[in-house]
Amino acid sequence: MNIPIPPSFHPDAAQSDIFPDKGEYVLKVSIGNPPFDLYAIADTGSDLFWAQCLPCDQCYPQKNPKYDPKSSSTYRNVACPSQRCQLLGTTSCSPPSNTCNYTYGYAAGSLTQGVLATETLTFASTKGSPVPLPNVVFGCGHNNTGTFNENEMGLAGLGRGSISLISQISPSFGGRRFSHCLVPFNTPPTISSKMSIGSGSEVSGPGTVTTSLVASQDSTFYVVTLNGISVGSTYLPFNSSGAVTKGNVFLDSGTLPTIVPRDFYNRLEAEVRSVVKLTPIDDPQLRPQLCYGRDVQAQGPLLTAHFDGNADVVLKQTSTFIEAKDGIFCFAMTPIDGPGGIVGNFAQTDHLIGFDLDGNTVSFKPTDCTKL
């Protein structure tokens, strides 16, 4: 497949580098005065932006120095009670200082606890000069536990909620929209791609397809409708009945595999098995995943995700079969007992993906993200 030349970013757009990190992606954000470089997980599946903060009462090991609010002249605690303190539904006041304490949890069991505060964030721009944004609400995390690794200094919530980093900063750059391009899994960590925020981050041009965001009860998620997936030329509907509920999946850069209902998964896996003319590898540590040797990345089928609005997104073999152990590549989807699903970051790689919160759309454009 011919990969289109990546577009240049708009001169008014804010920009940030995104680096691959063991299946997650970390976004470079400068926080405080003087600016302190923070590398936080880029997560479209949550809202809160937080950093590991000194003093760290209970923190996961971190390779880089932790952010120290006392060393920044622009750090301010959020007052409690206040409107800003209520932006997050899991806050409480702590007399006599009346700090706004928060607790924020994740589906995988990870947890951050601390105080809400405001800080100045500084972003690179395509104009060349850095752009400081004062009074951004974030979580100063003093107790952080879970599946974080030593390169991750916090988490950048990029969801649709009012406290998310995107909701807070994108209006300063001309619109509630952003785009990112995730490099393939196992790309060397020295190779970064770009996130563009605000006016000019729109995804357009030849090869672009667009689907509608669907309103949902949870204001955080980028919910879309997946009608089905083709394995090669064989189309498999999301539901065996053929009828699809609108808003049945959401896009989550913080989740690795694509997660689909068990019936759909079983049909997909059976079709992949029938198409791949290689012998599966049965590794006891990887069961029950469907795994093959390295040849599957050359000989495996192309999968096409069919989103509402005739938005067909082709997933290359590098997005569909992921190296789980040395020389063993496994099908990058997993089943769940439930009606909905998640499009994880494996499936999002090598596409420039634009999220438009004002226009309620998501656009996809095949792109070599290592060239951005």
Joined tokens for residue 181? 């391009």
- By annotation, the residues acting in catalysis are 43, 252
Structure confidence by residue, pLDDT tens digits, 49-81: 999 999 998 999 999 999 999 999 999 999 998
* Residue 207 confidence (pLDDT): 96
* Residue 94 confidence (pLDDT): 80
Mean pLDDT of the chain: 93
Residue 21: which of 43, 41, 36 has the closest Cα?
41
Distance CA 257, CA 336 (A): 12
Half-sphere CA count of 235, side-chain side, radius 13 A: 9
Residues of the chain whose pLDDT is less than 50?
1-11
* Residue 353 confidence (pLDDT): 98
Residue 151: which of 27, 49, 257, 300 has the closest Cα?
27
Q: Which 3 state secondary structure label does DSSP give 274?
A: helix
The burial of 109, by beta-carbon neighbours within 10 Å (0-12 exposed, 13-18 middle, 19 or more buried), is given as exposed
147 Rama sector, left if φ>0, alpha if ψ -120 to 50, beta otherwise: alpha
- Which pTM value belongs to this model? 0.93
* Residue 12 confidence (pLDDT): 64
Structure confidence by residue, pLDDT tens digits, 15-60: 999 999 999 999 999 999 999 999 999 999 999 999 999 999 899 9
